[in-house]
Amino acid sequence: MSEELHGTITIDEERIMKALEHAEEDAVQVREVLAKALELKGLNADEATVLMRIQSPELEEELFETARKVKDEIYGRRLVLFAPLYVSNLCANDCTYCAFRAGNKAVKRRALNYEEVIEETRILINQGHKRVLLVAGESYPKEGIDYVLKCIDTIYSVKSEWGEVRRINVNLAPLSLDEFKRLKERRIGTFQLFQETYHRETYSKVHISGKKRDFDWRITAMDRAMLAGIDDVGIGVLFGLYDWRFDVLALLQHNNHLEERFGVGCHTISVPRIEPAVGAEVSEHPPVPVNDRDFKKLIAILRLTVPYTGIILSTRENPEMRREALAMGVSQISAGSRTNPGGYHEEAYEMSQFSLGDHRSLDEVVEDIAHMGYIPSFCTGCYRLGRTGKDFMDLAKPGLIKHYCEINALSTFTEFLEHFASPITKEVGDKLVDKIVSEQPATRKERANNVVQKVRAGERDVYV
Ligand code: SAM
Ligand code: SF4
């Protein structure tokens, strides 16, 4: 084991390539795997591969239908919402697909000062957000990593009469073990980092210069994060760089490695697809674009393979794709997002990391989601009560987490409706809350109703 890396992970490329050589769909096998998936215990990599071979529209619909059932069974109607907060676009790396890459002269460089961080946070709080994802390029102002740590403290320090940010997740470049320990002290929620592609050759082609060229430093980051005591980590792939089937199977190997070493796998999986980005040619012509059909397939396969792991869909997808992806497996989405530092108080898009597929405000997204029958959730209860990492999974796997989540989702949604919603969203939302409360099983109905009534009467931050 390398001392600096604090771990090694070998993605077995040969095994994956072999599995993908046999492309024949086998209807009997597919149906056996789908039946197993309904037991809600997840699938192994071989079973996931069987599903990847699906070609016929009929079996594809069976796959989607099974994913919808599993999603509904485990997550019910709730959907977690968050906002990204880009604090800096300084970056020393050259990732061919990203607008923040060092060689891109079309983007003005900027790291928010702490007053600006406060300003951005206040706007998000006033829109109704409670969960923020802090994002930065891989180069920091002169304070180094302390800059990011101070940004976290700054965001948590902002209290407005409308509320506060209750959970900060971060999406940052890999850190050393000591830096992760310092990050842990900041009370972050999830540490997110995407491998982009697990295919080494492609990885080295698209990462031209800078520290990010080091595949092993990146892939071992989650080991260091977990050794530092960060329980919740989020992994992901940037789809479009290489064959999605390879990358999904490799991501599952990464997850298995974490499970074997730490007794718990990743908390979330993110599924961004490459979007056009200013000054980043590869983003206009992704090497292996993933079409909508395959994208839905991969979300459904992930849902069935790791049913208790959150799936995050970000800003980048348009409303139609989001709608379908939600039914199939996505459990968290970003809403009302800006992807440039200062983007919430300045409304300038030209410095954005990539072009957004969804320009709607949080209120519009909430209204749309509520119309579809989902409960938008701003809940941070588990994290604040220490239900993280293995403790979270131990509750989630036997289905216990549902008892908390549904009620907490209703509580935070009601809080949103009381303070931040437009009249039309409030009307739609209140009706939905009443309907969901009335449909709760007898064991939860009274508790759910009490929580909603307390929030409607003016109590805040009610969670179980
Ligand atoms: N700099 C850190 C890193 O690279 O890990 C964290 C911030 S970076 C902006 C966050 C993520 O943005 C990357 O991991 C990558 O997957 C995603 N990204 C970059 N360019 C993109 C594009 N053109 N379309 C969609 N996502 C993109
Ligand atoms: Fe920098 Fe991250 Fe963009 Fe790469 S993806 S150029 S590391 S901000």
Q: Report residue 450's pLDDT band, with 50, 70 and 90 as the boundaries.
A: very high
What gap in Å lies between CA 118 and CA 152, rounded to an integer?
10
- Give the residue whose CA is nearest to atom 12 of ligand 1: 98
Ligand nearest to the CA of 210: 2
87 near 112, Cβ under 8 Å?
yes
User: What's the average model confidence in pLDDT over 355-377?
Assistant: 85
Q: What residues have CB less than 8 Å from 427, skipping those under 6 apart?
A: none
Rounded to the nearest angstrom, the distance between the alpha carbon of 449 and the centre of ligand 1 is: 41
378 closest CA partner among 337, 334, 325: 334
pLDDT tens readout for residues 214-266: 999 999 999 999 999 999 999 999 999 999 999 999 999 999 999 999 999 99
pLDDT tens readout for residues 44-69: 999 999 999 999 999 999 999 999 99
353 near 86, Cβ under 8 Å?
yes
What gap in Å lies between CA 74 and CA 397, rounded to an integer?
9
Rounded to the nearest angstrom, the distance between the alpha carbon of 317 and the centre of ligand 2 is: 19
148 near 172, Cβ under 8 Å?
yes
If one residue of 138, 215, 270 were mutated to test the ligand 2 pocket, choosing by the most ligand atoms within 8 A of its CB, it would be: 138
Domain covering 72-359 in this structure, CATH number: 3.20.20.70
- Ligand 2 neighbour 325 (Cβ under 6 A): no
- Ligand 2 neighbour 138 (Cβ under 6 A): yes
Rounded to the nearest angstrom, the distance between the alpha carbon of 77 and the centre of ligand 2 is: 34
Structure tokens at 398: 């036997």
Ligand nearest to the CA of 95: 2
What gap in Å lies between CA 88 and CA 438, rounded to an integer?
46
Q: At 277, is the secondary structure helix, strand, or coil? A: strand
User: Exposed/middle/buried for 119, CB within 10 Å: 0-12, 13-18, 19+?
Assistant: middle
Closest ligand 1 atom to Cα of 172: 6
What gap in Å lies between CA 51 and CA 33, rounded to an integer?
8
pLDDT tens readout for residues 72-118: 998 888 999 999 999 999 999 999 999 999 999 999 999 999 999 99
Closest ligand 1 atom to Cα of 277: 23
pLDDT of residue 385: 77
Closest ligand 1 atom to Cα of 135: 7
Q: What's the count of helices (H) and strands (E) in the chain, helices before strands?
A: 21, 13
Structure tokens at 181: 């320990």
Question: In this structure, is the dihedral angle defined by the CA atoms of residues 439, 442, 69 and 129, taken in order, positive or negative?
Answer: positive
Closest ligand 1 atom to Cα of 339: 9
Q: Where are the domains of the chain?
A: 72-359, 391-456
Rounded to the nearest angstrom, the distance between the alpha carbon of 167 and the centre of ligand 2 is: 24
In DSSP terms, which residues pair with 268 in a beta bridge?
Answer: 234, 310
Of the chain, the end-to-end C-alpha distance in Å amounts to: 42
- Ligand 1 neighbour 172 (Cβ under 6 A): yes
